[in-house]
Amino acid sequence: MLTLIFVILMIALFAELIGLAVRLAWGLLKIVGFVIFWPLVLVGLAAAGLIYVALPLLIVSAVIGIAMKN
């Protein structure tokens, strides 16, 4: 009986740890995507002559970054 309870709790713990790992990895992926991908998008827009689109996006990103810092 104790073995069955132990096995059930271990399965529950394993499932919870997998869920936590997925959530942490997803958060890390979003951070890496924002740090690497977003500046490349802005540089690409500016290089393609869409500076009128890239500049407001840069300003909004800067304001959000400053607001989230405080």
* Domain ranges across the chain: 2-69
CA-to-CA distance for 14 and 20, rounded, in angstroms?
A: 10
Q: Give residue 63's pLDDT.
A: 85
Provide the residue count of the chain: 70
Q: Give residue 70's pLDDT.
A: 63
Q: Indicate the pTM of the whole model.
A: 0.55
55: number of Cβ within 10 Å: 13
Q: Give residue 12's pLDDT.
A: 79
Q: Tokens 């827009």: give the residue.
A: 45
Residue 68 has pLDDT above 80, yes or no: no
Which amino acid, one-letter code, is at 17?
A: L
Q: What percent of the chain has pLDDT over 70?
A: 99
Whether residue 39 contacts residue 54, with contact meaning beta carbons closer than 8 Å, is answered with no
Nearest to 58 by CA among 50, 15, 28: 50
